[in-house]
Amino acid sequence: MLELHDVSRQFGGLAALSGVNMLVPRGRVVGLIGPNGAGKTTLINLISGLDHPTGGTITLGGTPIHGLPPHQIARRGIARTYQNIRMFADLTALENLLVAQHAQGKASALEALIFAPRYRSEEKALRDHARHLLERFHLADKADQRAGNLPYGDQRRLEIARALATRPALMLLDEPTAGMNPIETEELGEQILRLREDGITVLVIEHDMALIAQVCQEVYVLNFGQIIAHGTHEAIKANPLVVQAYLGEEEEETGGAA
């Protein structure tokens, strides 16, 4: 459903992405891994319209979407979460979901005035759906707490619930388990598999290899802005290019001792 062809993003002299080709087939959970600074978040920014490629094409169901603003891409059924959680910290958990839905709402302000009954019934349906999502993500008892006051793991799940509130066809998750403990991580893996059962296509950036193995049917590996490998989790793990990319990262972190 989503196709990237020869996609590049140049920041001045830095090629954050170059010549990226990627296919995310409908109904799949596709992983995107790579060392820090490889360009993973940049790629999701390009798909979601937060940023635009300096070269190449991005198509959704055959229609080009690169260059469209984020709200238009959202209307086409793409939702995302952020590596650094972005929510309305002062709104409650429930209100955050309602705001997300309204950004997608079918009744315009004018319609709301003219067709008040229809608007009211839509309003009720949205509220019911939002409460249902809070339940699904074990947040029902926290509906009226300010999002900014929730524990970190709850905020991460609320972010996914919020993305889901827009009823997307494709979800882009940027390190959804960052900061979670192993139990929370595994439970989130089950939530991701449930998205797939609901027919939602998922592209997930993760550092946690156990989660990648748990949820992904195929994995792309980015290194210095280029795709260096693509295949099943097992094939990726055994790929010398991938092993080398991650070893290089460890050497840098330990001061390049050799």
Ligand X SMILES: Nc1ncnc2c1ncn2[C@@H]1O[C@H](COP(=O)(O)OP(=O)(O)OP(=O)(O)O)[C@@H](O)[C@H]1O
For residue 94, the minimal CB distance to Mg ion (Å) is: 29
Is residue 240 exposed (0-12), middle (13-18) or buried (19+ Cβ within 10 Å)? exposed
For residue 108, the minimal CB distance to ligand X (Å) is: 34
Token pair, residue 113, equals 């005035």
Is there a contact between 29 and 196 (Cβ–Cβ < 8 Å)? yes
Integer Cα distance of 219 and 214 in angstroms:
12
Q: Is 41 in the site for Mg ion (CB under 5 A)?
A: yes
Q: Which is nearer to Mg ion, 98 or 219 (CB)?
A: 219
For residue 146, the minimal CB distance to ligand X (Å) is: 27
Q: Which is nearer to ligand X, 187 or 249 (CB)?
A: 249
Q: Do strands 63-64 and 55-60 pair parallel, antiparallel, or not at all (unpaired)? A: antiparallel
Task: Pick the stretch among 80-88, 107-115, 234-242, 249-257 that binds Mg ion (CB under 5 A).
Answer: 80-88
* Interacting residues with ligand X between 142 and 161 (CB under 6 A): none
For residue 252, the minimal CB distance to Mg ion (Å) is: 17
Q: Do strands 201-205 and 29-33 pair parallel, antiparallel, or not at all (unpaired)? A: parallel
Among 2, 4, 7, 16, binds ligand X (CB under 6 A): 16
Q: Which is nearer to Mg ion, 49 or 130 (CB)?
A: 49
Please give the span between the terminal C-alpha atoms of the chain, in angstroms, as a whole number: 45
Site map 29..68 versus ligand X, x via CB under 6 A: -----x-xxxxxxx--------------------------
Q: Which is nearer to ligand X, 85 or 193 (CB)?
A: 85
Token pair, residue 82, equals 């952020």
For residue 41, the minimal CB distance to Mg ion (Å) is: 3
Integer Cα distance of 1 and 24 in angstroms:
6
> How far, rounded to the nearest angstrom, does the alpha carbon of residue 41 sit from its chain's CA centroid?
10
CA angle (158 as vertex; 146, 131 as ends), nearest 5: 85
- Which residues here bind ligand X, judged by CB under 6 A? 11, 14, 16, 34, 36-42, 83
List of residues contacting Mg ion (CB under 5 A): 40-41, 83
